[in-house]
A = this chain, B = another copy of it.
Amino acid sequence: LSTHKVRTYGYRYPHPAVAADIAIFALREGELAILLITRKEEPFCGMWALPGGFVREDENLDACARRELLEETGVDAPMLRQFANFSEPERDPRERVISVAYLALLQSDRIKPQAGTDASAVGWFRMSAIPPLAYDHGTIVEAAIRSLRDLLDDPDILFNLVPERFTLSQLQSAYEAVLGRPTDKRNFRNRLLSTDLLRETKDLERGAHRPAMIYERARH
């Protein structure tokens, strides 16, 4: 720890620190998973936590969340949405921190998580096996999954969990993984195909079964 005199920022009244914390979801082996990091400093040193960081002077909160996500995962988020604030005075034992919580969805094959400045390890956890988390991040994750389920009726949200080109079965698997329960195949397909959000491609996905039509998002 440095003992040099360092620049400080002074205010007439106490100011909280403001951070963006990001719940990043992706599908891993067919299950919904969340990206966590281990803290390498006190408090909660060594515990798992959501990635996130403090807002800078010259950026708004959306930019902060996007930057932190990029720093942690190397991926520019296709879908990043604010869903709640967490502001209990004692939620951080060191100083007061107000967290703006964001929800992000990624295609897991596009991510190579790398340990960054604030994290000594990065890992994916299935929703059924989330470890104890630092701060109130457990509460934030619960709120995030609830928000995600609410948003999922919008196909534009769902598309962010699958590759650019996908089969309807892949899309349905993603839907079911988030909701945590199976859904009817015919209803799902009828609903999606009755929108104008899908475009057939000329390609088929082959396997030890009947080939599946590959779709992509319609350009509007």
Q: Let me know if A210 is at the binding interface, CB within 8 A.
A: no
Q: How far, in whole Å, are A170 and B163 apart by their CA atoms in the complex?
A: 52
> A15-B11, A15-B18 known; A87 and B61 CB under 8 Å?
yes
Mask: chain A, 80-121; 1 = CB below 8 Å from B; 0 = not: 001001011100000110101000000000000000000000
Main secondary structure of the interface of A (DSSP, over half): loop
Stoichiometry (number of copies): 2
Q: Which residue of B lies closest to A20 (CB)?
A: B87
A10, B12: Cβ atoms closer than 8 Å = no
> Of the 9-residue stretches A51-59, A125-133, A138-146, A196-204, which lies at the interface with chain B?
A51-59
Interface centre among A15, A54, A98 (most CB of B within 10 A): A15
Residues of A within 8 A of B (CB): 6-18, 54-62, 82, 85, 87-89, 95-96, 98, 100
